[in-house]
Amino acid sequence: MKTDITILCDNYVGRPGFIGEHGFSALIESGDNRYLFDAGSGVGLSFNLKLLEKDLKGVSRIFLSHGHYDHTGGLKWALQEMGSVNVVAHPAVFSRHFVKNPLLFANEPRYIGSPASREELSALGAEFTWVDQTRQVEDGLWFVTGVPCKAGQSFQDPQLLLQDGEGFSPDPISDDASLLIETATDPVLLLGCAHAGVLNILDHLQDSLKIRKLRAILGGTHLMFFSPDRIAAVIRRFEDFGVEQVGVCHCTGMNAAVALGAHFKNRFATAATGSVFSFD
Protein backbone atom coordinates (compact mmCIF):
# COMPACT_ATOMS: atom_id res chain seq x y z
CA MET A 1 0.00 0.00 0.00
CA LYS A 2 1.45 3.32 -1.06
CA THR A 3 1.78 6.15 1.46
CA ASP A 4 2.30 9.78 0.44
CA ILE A 5 3.26 12.46 2.95
CA THR A 6 2.81 15.95 1.51
CA ILE A 7 4.21 18.95 3.38
CA LEU A 8 1.49 21.61 3.39
CA CYS A 9 3.10 24.18 5.69
CA ASP A 10 6.71 24.90 6.60
CA ASN A 11 9.03 27.86 7.13
CA TYR A 12 10.46 27.32 3.65
CA VAL A 13 9.03 26.51 0.24
CA GLY A 14 10.41 23.81 -1.99
CA ARG A 15 8.59 24.79 -5.18
CA PRO A 16 7.66 28.14 -6.78
CA GLY A 17 4.35 29.71 -5.90
CA PHE A 18 3.84 28.26 -2.43
CA ILE A 19 3.47 30.28 0.77
CA GLY A 20 5.95 29.70 3.57
CA GLU A 21 5.16 30.37 7.21
CA HIS A 22 6.56 29.63 10.64
CA GLY A 23 4.66 26.41 11.21
CA PHE A 24 4.14 22.84 10.12
CA SER A 25 1.41 20.71 8.57
CA ALA A 26 1.43 17.49 6.56
CA LEU A 27 -1.19 15.51 4.67
CA ILE A 28 -0.89 11.74 4.97
CA GLU A 29 -2.50 9.62 2.25
CA SER A 30 -2.20 5.90 2.80
CA GLY A 31 -4.31 3.72 0.56
CA ASP A 32 -7.87 4.99 0.94
CA ASN A 33 -7.09 6.73 4.25
CA ARG A 34 -6.33 10.44 4.58
CA TYR A 35 -5.11 12.22 7.72
CA LEU A 36 -3.95 15.74 8.59
CA PHE A 37 -0.98 16.11 10.93
CA ASP A 38 -0.97 19.63 12.39
CA ALA A 39 -2.44 22.67 10.66
CA GLY A 40 0.32 25.28 10.46
CA SER A 41 -0.12 28.80 11.78
CA GLY A 42 -3.14 29.54 9.61
CA VAL A 43 -1.48 31.47 6.80
CA GLY A 44 -0.72 29.00 4.04
CA LEU A 45 -2.82 25.87 4.56
CA SER A 46 -5.73 26.74 2.26
CA PHE A 47 -3.53 28.40 -0.38
CA ASN A 48 -0.98 25.58 -0.55
CA LEU A 49 -3.66 22.88 -0.69
CA LYS A 50 -5.23 24.64 -3.67
CA LEU A 51 -1.87 24.97 -5.42
CA LEU A 52 -1.31 21.24 -4.89
CA GLU A 53 -4.79 20.60 -6.31
CA LYS A 54 -5.74 18.89 -3.08
CA ASP A 55 -8.37 19.44 -0.41
CA LEU A 56 -9.37 18.05 2.97
CA LYS A 57 -12.33 16.01 1.74
CA GLY A 58 -12.15 12.47 3.04
CA VAL A 59 -9.70 13.33 5.83
CA SER A 60 -10.95 11.14 8.68
CA ARG A 61 -8.72 12.36 11.49
CA ILE A 62 -6.54 15.28 12.51
CA PHE A 63 -3.49 14.54 14.66
CA LEU A 64 -1.87 17.30 16.70
CA SER A 65 1.81 17.21 17.62
CA HIS A 66 1.35 19.82 20.40
CA GLY A 67 -0.56 22.97 21.20
CA HIS A 68 1.65 25.78 19.85
CA TYR A 69 -0.01 28.26 17.49
CA ASP A 70 2.24 27.35 14.58
CA HIS A 71 0.76 23.83 14.59
CA THR A 72 -2.84 24.67 15.53
CA GLY A 73 -3.47 28.05 13.90
CA GLY A 74 -5.07 26.54 10.79
CA LEU A 75 -7.48 24.31 12.71
CA LYS A 76 -10.48 26.63 12.49
CA TRP A 77 -10.22 26.87 8.71
CA ALA A 78 -9.67 23.10 8.41
CA LEU A 79 -12.75 22.35 10.51
CA GLN A 80 -14.83 24.81 8.51
CA GLU A 81 -13.84 22.86 5.40
CA MET A 82 -14.33 19.41 6.91
CA GLY A 83 -17.15 19.75 9.43
CA SER A 84 -17.28 17.03 12.07
CA VAL A 85 -13.95 15.22 12.41
CA ASN A 86 -12.01 13.36 15.08
CA VAL A 87 -9.00 15.25 16.49
CA VAL A 88 -6.38 13.15 18.30
CA ALA A 89 -4.19 15.01 20.77
CA HIS A 90 -2.55 14.81 24.17
CA PRO A 91 -4.94 16.06 26.90
CA ALA A 92 -2.54 18.92 27.71
CA VAL A 93 -2.72 20.33 24.18
CA PHE A 94 -4.62 23.44 25.35
CA SER A 95 -2.05 24.30 28.02
CA ARG A 96 -1.17 27.97 28.42
CA HIS A 97 2.06 27.94 26.43
CA PHE A 98 4.18 31.13 26.46
CA VAL A 99 7.58 32.23 25.15
CA LYS A 100 9.93 34.82 26.62
CA ASN A 101 12.33 36.20 24.05
CA PRO A 102 13.51 39.77 24.77
CA LEU A 103 14.88 40.11 21.23
CA LEU A 104 11.42 39.66 19.75
CA PHE A 105 8.82 40.59 22.35
CA ALA A 106 10.45 43.07 24.73
CA ASN A 107 10.74 41.41 28.13
CA GLU A 108 7.20 40.10 28.63
CA PRO A 109 6.15 36.49 28.06
CA ARG A 110 3.95 36.14 24.99
CA TYR A 111 1.18 33.57 24.55
CA ILE A 112 1.97 31.05 21.81
CA GLY A 113 -0.66 28.39 22.50
CA SER A 114 -3.63 27.48 20.35
CA PRO A 115 -5.38 30.62 19.01
CA ALA A 116 -8.73 28.83 19.30
CA SER A 117 -10.08 27.27 22.48
CA ARG A 118 -11.30 23.71 22.80
CA GLU A 119 -14.86 25.06 22.98
CA GLU A 120 -14.48 27.05 19.75
CA LEU A 121 -13.07 24.06 17.89
CA SER A 122 -15.71 21.70 19.29
CA ALA A 123 -18.42 24.08 18.07
CA LEU A 124 -16.93 23.79 14.56
CA GLY A 125 -17.10 19.99 14.68
CA ALA A 126 -13.92 18.81 16.42
CA GLU A 127 -14.51 15.57 18.34
CA PHE A 128 -11.48 15.14 20.59
CA THR A 129 -9.81 11.86 21.45
CA TRP A 130 -7.27 12.28 24.24
CA VAL A 131 -4.16 10.10 24.20
CA ASP A 132 -1.51 10.53 26.90
CA GLN A 133 0.56 7.40 26.24
CA THR A 134 1.86 5.86 23.02
CA ARG A 135 -0.70 3.61 21.37
CA GLN A 136 -1.94 2.43 18.01
CA VAL A 137 -4.76 4.66 16.78
CA GLU A 138 -5.31 3.20 13.30
CA ASP A 139 -4.11 0.16 11.43
CA GLY A 140 -0.45 0.89 10.74
CA LEU A 141 -0.48 4.21 12.62
CA TRP A 142 0.82 4.95 16.12
CA PHE A 143 0.41 8.15 18.15
CA VAL A 144 3.71 8.52 20.01
CA THR A 145 3.45 10.56 23.22
CA GLY A 146 4.24 10.45 26.92
CA VAL A 147 7.90 9.99 26.04
CA PRO A 148 10.16 9.63 29.12
CA CYS A 149 13.33 11.69 29.35
CA LYS A 150 16.44 9.61 29.86
CA ALA A 151 19.35 10.69 32.03
CA GLY A 152 21.80 12.81 30.07
CA GLN A 153 19.20 13.55 27.40
CA SER A 154 17.26 16.29 29.11
CA PHE A 155 15.84 18.73 26.62
CA GLN A 156 14.45 22.09 27.63
CA ASP A 157 14.10 25.22 25.54
CA PRO A 158 14.68 27.94 28.17
CA GLN A 159 12.52 30.42 26.25
CA LEU A 160 9.38 28.30 26.59
CA LEU A 161 7.20 28.88 29.64
CA LEU A 162 3.99 27.48 31.07
CA GLN A 163 1.56 29.81 32.79
CA ASP A 164 1.12 28.66 36.37
CA GLY A 165 -1.51 30.78 38.08
CA GLU A 166 -0.18 34.33 37.96
CA GLY A 167 3.39 33.21 37.35
CA PHE A 168 5.37 31.09 34.92
CA SER A 169 7.45 27.94 35.08
CA PRO A 170 9.61 26.10 32.51
CA ASP A 171 7.37 24.40 29.95
CA PRO A 172 8.11 20.69 29.46
CA ILE A 173 5.67 20.60 26.48
CA SER A 174 4.12 17.45 27.95
CA ASP A 175 1.62 17.45 25.06
CA ASP A 176 4.38 16.70 22.51
CA ALA A 177 3.48 13.88 20.12
CA SER A 178 4.72 12.27 16.91
CA LEU A 179 3.36 9.75 14.43
CA LEU A 180 4.82 6.36 13.53
CA ILE A 181 3.55 5.22 10.14
CA GLU A 182 4.03 1.64 8.99
CA THR A 183 5.06 0.95 5.40
CA ALA A 184 5.68 -2.25 3.44
CA THR A 185 9.16 -2.40 4.96
CA ASP A 186 10.09 -0.26 7.97
CA PRO A 187 8.07 2.53 9.60
CA VAL A 188 8.36 6.28 9.03
CA LEU A 189 8.66 8.65 12.00
CA LEU A 190 6.84 11.95 11.41
CA LEU A 191 7.73 14.68 13.92
CA GLY A 192 5.99 17.96 14.67
CA CYS A 193 8.68 19.65 16.76
CA ALA A 194 10.15 16.78 18.81
CA HIS A 195 9.90 18.85 21.99
CA ALA A 196 10.35 15.62 23.96
CA GLY A 197 13.84 15.43 22.45
CA VAL A 198 14.50 13.43 19.30
CA LEU A 199 16.94 11.13 21.13
CA ASN A 200 14.32 10.39 23.79
CA ILE A 201 11.71 9.69 21.11
CA LEU A 202 14.01 7.23 19.34
CA ASP A 203 14.84 5.48 22.61
CA HIS A 204 11.13 5.29 23.39
CA LEU A 205 10.40 3.65 20.04
CA GLN A 206 13.10 1.10 20.69
CA ASP A 207 12.21 0.41 24.32
CA SER A 208 8.41 0.45 24.06
CA LEU A 209 7.64 -0.65 20.50
CA LYS A 210 10.82 -2.66 19.83
CA ILE A 211 11.52 -0.58 16.72
CA ARG A 212 15.06 -1.18 15.52
CA LYS A 213 14.93 0.38 12.04
CA LEU A 214 13.23 3.38 10.48
CA ARG A 215 12.67 3.96 6.83
CA ALA A 216 12.55 7.73 7.24
CA ILE A 217 12.53 10.53 9.80
CA LEU A 218 10.58 13.56 8.62
CA GLY A 219 9.55 16.89 10.14
CA GLY A 220 10.76 19.26 12.82
CA THR A 221 13.59 17.96 15.00
CA HIS A 222 14.14 21.05 17.21
CA LEU A 223 17.92 20.80 16.99
CA MET A 224 18.41 24.56 16.73
CA PHE A 225 19.85 24.79 20.24
CA PHE A 226 22.03 21.68 19.97
CA SER A 227 25.82 21.96 20.07
CA PRO A 228 27.88 20.33 17.29
CA ASP A 229 28.65 17.43 19.64
CA ARG A 230 24.97 16.81 20.36
CA ILE A 231 24.07 17.07 16.66
CA ALA A 232 26.77 14.46 15.99
CA ALA A 233 25.12 12.24 18.62
CA VAL A 234 21.79 12.61 16.83
CA ILE A 235 23.40 11.64 13.51
CA ARG A 236 24.89 8.53 15.12
CA ARG A 237 21.51 7.59 16.54
CA PHE A 238 19.85 8.04 13.15
CA GLU A 239 22.46 5.68 11.72
CA ASP A 240 21.78 3.20 14.52
CA PHE A 241 18.23 3.02 13.19
CA GLY A 242 19.45 2.58 9.60
CA VAL A 243 17.43 5.57 8.45
CA GLU A 244 17.12 5.56 4.67
CA GLN A 245 15.79 9.10 4.31
CA VAL A 246 16.08 12.18 6.51
CA GLY A 247 13.71 15.02 5.64
CA VAL A 248 13.90 17.82 8.19
CA CYS A 249 12.27 21.24 8.37
CA HIS A 250 10.61 23.89 10.53
CA CYS A 251 12.41 24.00 13.91
CA THR A 252 15.47 21.95 12.95
CA GLY A 253 17.77 24.97 12.64
CA MET A 254 20.15 25.84 9.82
CA ASN A 255 23.34 24.56 11.46
CA ALA A 256 21.77 21.20 12.22
CA ALA A 257 20.25 20.92 8.73
CA VAL A 258 23.65 21.62 7.15
CA ALA A 259 25.31 18.98 9.35
CA LEU A 260 22.61 16.42 8.56
CA GLY A 261 22.82 17.18 4.84
CA ALA A 262 26.62 16.88 4.83
CA HIS A 263 26.44 13.50 6.52
CA PHE A 264 23.44 11.85 4.84
CA LYS A 265 24.07 13.31 1.36
CA ASN A 266 21.59 11.73 -1.08
CA ARG A 267 19.58 10.37 1.85
CA PHE A 268 18.86 13.95 2.97
CA ALA A 269 16.11 16.31 1.88
CA THR A 270 14.50 19.47 3.20
CA ALA A 271 10.85 18.82 3.96
CA ALA A 272 9.79 22.23 2.66
CA THR A 273 6.28 23.23 1.65
CA GLY A 274 5.22 21.35 -1.48
CA SER A 275 7.55 18.39 -0.87
CA VAL A 276 6.07 14.92 -1.27
CA PHE A 277 7.59 11.80 0.30
CA SER A 278 6.30 8.51 -1.09
CA PHE A 279 6.67 5.05 0.43
CA ASP A 280 5.44 1.72 -0.95
For 191-201, write each residue's pLDDT tens digit: 999 999 999 99
Q: Which CATH number fits domain 3-279: 3.40.30.10, 1.10.1070.11, 3.40.640.10, 3.60.15.10?
A: 3.60.15.10
pLDDT, the chain, mean: 95
pLDDT for 148 beyond 70? yes
Distance CA 153, CA 198 (A): 9
Amino acid 205 reads L
> Please, are residues 177 and 141 in contact by the beta-carbon 8 Å criterion?
no
Span 172-187, mean pLDDT?
97
Span 169-192, mean pLDDT?
97
Span 171-186, mean pLDDT?
97
Query: In 210-245, which positions are buried (b, 16+ CB within 10 angstroms) versus exposed (e)?
Result: ebeebbbbbbbbbbeebeeeebeebbebbeebebbb
* CA-to-CA dists, residue 231 to 221, 227, 256, 271, angstroms: 11, 6, 6, 18
Instruction: Report pTM.
Output: 0.97
pLDDT for 171 beyond 90? yes
**If pLDDT is split at 50, 70 and 90, which confidence band does 127 have?**
very high
pLDDT for 43 beyond 80? yes
In this predicted structure, what is the pLDDT of residue 225? 86
* pLDDT tens by residue, 206-262: 999 999 999 999 999 999 988 999 999 999 999 999 999 999 999 999 999 999 999
| Pairing of β 135-138 and β 141-145 | antiparallel
pLDDT for 22 beyond 80? yes
Domain boundaries, the chain: 3-279
* pLDDT tens by residue, 63-111: 999 999 999 999 999 999 998 999 999 999 999 999 998 776 667 899 9
Residue 258 phi, psi (nearest 5): -65, -45
In this predicted structure, what is the pLDDT of residue 153? 80
Span 114-119, mean pLDDT?
98
In this predicted structure, what is the pLDDT of residue 151? 80
